[in-house]
Chain A
Amino acid sequence: MSALRVGLCSALTDTVCDALRQAGIRTANEFVIKDVEDLVQKSGVSYKDLQAIRRVVLAQYSSFPQCGLEVYTSALTSIAILPTGCPSIDTLLDGGLYTGELTEIAGQTAVGKTQFCFSCCVSVACDTKQSVLYLDTCGSFTAERLADIITAQDKEQEVDEALTRVRYHRVSDIFQLLERLEEIKLHLSKQTDQFYSSLKLVIVDNVASVLYPVLGGRHMDGLGLMSHLGLKLKILAVDFSIAVLITNNVASEGARVSLGKTWSHVPHTRLFLSRRHDVEGRPVRDAKVVKSNKMDQAKTEKTAVIRQDVQTPDPLSILS
């Protein structure tokens, strides 16, 4: 909510504004939560004027109700399910990455989080021919690997075309990340750039490395920044109907996803990756859905066994 300014409505004149300010009312927010009769006494502005201002302010800042059927039909037309490039994870996620949702992948070091992001990148850019924006906080983006994955699928001639559909940003702190997200929103509402009008997937790899430096200690607003980031990511996903994919670390011996309880409410779907050795001693990866808002409990318990291999077409291919 913004400050009360002269010119917001006809009743809000210079004198009224000053009077309200004298009474300690500066923002629309403060104005709305105050009792009108109380305000009349404190500021000396007439009851009629205050009611008029109140009506305008409420109308300006309220959201409109939507009929459930409308929401449903618009959902049917706007929701897209993007393939992740790994069939077994697709089944685990009920088809793949949903637009309008925030999907998080958590796991230990070298478990394949970034590889999973690359895989999604390639399948969205190459198979569905949509744009991908990659926000990289830990400098691990490697275009060569993307090209390798595409080449391994025998689509060598598509490499250049697919890679132009992927854009990359190096982000070094939380403020830069927030700025980028704001910029993406601006571009999306402008709809002038061809890239942004076909943008379907935004990847942030990895959220923990920009949030760790501001959490705890003297940074009193670290938690505030964290929830702010969560809010912004959700707005991007839900309001602009984009699939947002983020990666996260694990804390304490790999049992818990890091960033705590507050953050655990942010992603719609959470996928947990872990590595182990199979009977033949080869390293394999397990994927497990630990949070989901559209699957029943029985399904979330399911685990997919995947393997990371550079030589096979998929970076994460099915083992069993």
Chain B
Amino acid sequence: MQNSRELNSFPIAPIHKTKLSGAGFLIVEDLKDIKPSELSKETGIDLEESLEIITLVLGGDGDQKASKPTVSALDILHLENASPYIITFSEQVDSMLGGGVPLRKVTEFCGSPGIGKTQMCMQLAVDVQIPEAFGGMGGEAVYIDTEGSFIIERLVDIAKATVQHCHNIASENQEPDMLKVMGQFTMESVLSRIHYFRCHDYVELLSNVHLLPKFLKEHPTVKLVVVDSVAFHFRHDFDDMSLRTRLLTSMAQSFIQLATDSSLAVVLTNQMTTKVQQGESSRLIPALGESWGHASTIRVILYWEGKQRWAWLYKSPSQREAVVPYQITTGGIRDVVSSKLESDEEGEAPAKRQRTS
């Protein structure tokens, strides 16, 4: 079978592409049975790089097909049905998302300051660790903090409440499995299984994202990667907007790759910006522009209405658009309860946190 794929569709440096086409090497077939030394002589590309080009063009052919077989939608359906969700501890938010924050997808939470984006991230970072005996996934979390808004005291609160909640379930049900794992599931263990990265500028953020695959290989139980927030460093000091778009879209691709390859959930937070419309009143929209909107698979917008916090599922490939209320208590994200009877799920009495801004 003649392989007539053009060489310029390969990731080869433009300067080498020019040399190759100048010497008459245009399709894959032209490079067959050619030694690196011959190629080097004919094109003027040095020997080492000639070898690299030949391995890239010819070597990849057989191997990649074997490692990347075609998948049917049915296989994906089975995979999806088998994969668990990370719960948020607010039943309404969970059911809006179809069960919680899904693995293998990128979920974005947008909202104005103080609405609870960071709280949501912390809650998820704790919830991903709920042991399997309780229906959780016993994973670890990577927390990338760009804003410096990671408050460890809050995390301790949330972790304590979650451990307490599991403890209550265990002592209620008296199941030996649950009681056994409770010994290891403590506030200290929860904190030790959150890997915290602090990124001071966008270069640090980008390099961190690039290094994550290696880190994840060393820590295979990581099931959640949080970036809080993705917008912060990209909203100032950018004169070249096309550079910003390019960096953001390639970062988005890395996140999606991360989510699918390591089958984990990626959770991003984003800020809001004001969009001024002619003739209409201005309104708040998620920051980073239109092209970033496609980066996340699921987008949830958090907003205030009066004194109530609402979560609005704006974009999702599988769930319908919906709006649900939620609240933030000492213990973390919770449902809004109308009567006290329903609140027995929580370890502490719900105390609504005051709006900070």
Instruction: Identify the stretch in A58-66, A91-99, A143-151 within 8 Å (CB) of chain B at 4 or more residues.
Output: A143-151
**Other-chain residue from A137, A172, A217 in contact with B243 (beta carbon distance below 8 A):** A217
Closest to A189 in B: B1
Residues of B within 8 A of A142 (CB): 80, 317-318
**Other-chain residue from B74, B253, B290 in contact with A109 (beta carbon distance below 8 A):** B290
A254 touches B318 (CB 8 A): no
B72 touches A167 (CB 8 A): yes
Residues of B within 8 A of A182 (CB): 3, 5, 9
Those of A270-320 within 8 Å (CB) of chain B: 283, 308-311
**Other-chain residue from B23, B71, B104, B245 in contact with A139 (beta carbon distance below 8 A):** B104
User: Does A212 have its Cβ within 8 Å of any Cβ on chain B?
Assistant: yes
Residues of A within 8 A of B26 (CB): 1-3, 27
CB distance from A247 to the nearest CB of B (A): 9
Interface size on A, residues (CB 8 A): 74
A2 touches B24 (CB 8 A): yes
Instruction: Identify the stretch in B202-210, B229-237, B256-264 within 8 Å (CB) of chain A at 4 or more residues.
Output: B256-264
B239-258: CB near A (< 8 Å → 1, else 0) gives 00011011001101100110
Those of A104-133 within 8 Å (CB) of chain B: 108-110, 114-115, 118, 121
B291 touches A143 (CB 8 A): no
Those of B54-112 within 8 Å (CB) of chain A: 64-65, 70-74, 76-77, 79-81, 98, 104-106
The winner among A3, A4, A115, A121 for most chain B CB atoms within 10 A is: A3
CB distance from A100 to the nearest CB of B (A): 21
User: Does B11 have its Cβ within 8 Å of any Cβ on chain A?
Assistant: yes
Residues of B within 8 A of A263 (CB): none
- Give the complex CA separation of A140 and B318 in angstroms: 9
User: Does B319 have its Cβ within 8 Å of any Cβ on chain A?
Assistant: yes
B315 touches A216 (CB 8 A): no
User: Does A220 have its Cβ within 8 Å of any Cβ on chain B?
Assistant: yes
A167 touches B1 (CB 8 A): no
Those of A185-204 within 8 Å (CB) of chain B: 186, 189-190, 195
User: Does A19 have its Cβ within 8 Å of any Cβ on chain B?
Assistant: no
- Give the complex CA separation of A252 and B74 in angstroms: 38
- Give the complex CA separation of A249 and B293 in angstroms: 9
User: Does B25 have its Cβ within 8 Å of any Cβ on chain A?
Assistant: yes
**Other-chain residue from B98, B253, B317 in contact with A213 (beta carbon distance below 8 A):** B253
Residues of A within 8 A of B252 (CB): 138, 209
CB distance from A40 to the nearest CB of B (A): 21
Residues of B within 8 A of A55 (CB): none
Those of B127-148 within 8 Å (CB) of chain A: none
- Contacts A163-B74, A212-B245, A250-B290 given; indicate if A109 touches B14 (C-beta within 8 A): no
Q: In which size bucket is the chain B interface?
A: 35 or more
B297 touches A138 (CB 8 A): yes
Closest to A139 in B: B256
A258 touches B315 (CB 8 A): no
- Give the complex CA separation of A186 and B174 in angstroms: 60
- Contacts A166-B72, A208-B294 given; indicate if A144 touches B315 (C-beta within 8 A): no
User: Does A215 have its Cβ within 8 Å of any Cβ on chain B?
Assistant: yes
CB distance from B252 to the nearest CB of A (A): 7
A143 touches B246 (CB 8 A): no
B291 touches A208 (CB 8 A): yes
- Contacts A142-B80, A254-B290 given; indicate if A2 touches B317 (C-beta within 8 A): no
Residues of B within 8 A of A134 (CB): 73
Residues of B within 8 A of A3 (CB): 23-26, 30
A27 touches B24 (CB 8 A): yes
CB distance from B15 to the nearest CB of A (A): 9
Residues of B within 8 A of A268 (CB): none
Residues of A within 8 A of B17 (CB): 221
**Other-chain residue from A1, A109, A208, A309 in contact with B320 (beta carbon distance below 8 A):** A309
Please report A residues at the B interface, Cβ cutoff 8 Å: 1-4, 26-27, 108-110, 114-115, 118, 121, 134, 137-148, 159-160, 163-170, 172-173, 175, 178-179, 182-183, 186, 189-190, 195, 206, 208-210, 212-213, 215-217, 220-221, 224-225, 228, 232, 249-254, 258, 283, 308-311
List 16 extra interface pairs beyond A26-B22, A163-B72, A215-B246, CB under 8 A: A2-B27, A2-B29, A109-B293, A109-B294, A140-B105, A146-B77, A164-B72, A164-B73, A167-B72, A168-B73, A209-B253, A209-B294, A224-B8, A225-B8, A258-B291, A308-B321
5 closest cross-chain pairs (CB), A and B: A109-B293, A3-B24, A110-B315, A166-B73, A143-B77
Please report B residues at the A interface, Cβ cutoff 8 Å: 1, 3, 5-6, 8-11, 14, 17, 22-27, 29-30, 64-65, 70-74, 76-77, 79-81, 98, 104-106, 242-243, 245-246, 249-250, 252-253, 256-257, 259-260, 290-291, 293-295, 297, 299, 314-315, 317-321
6 contacts between A and B (CB under 8 A): A2-B24, A109-B294, A139-B106, A145-B317, A172-B256, A183-B65
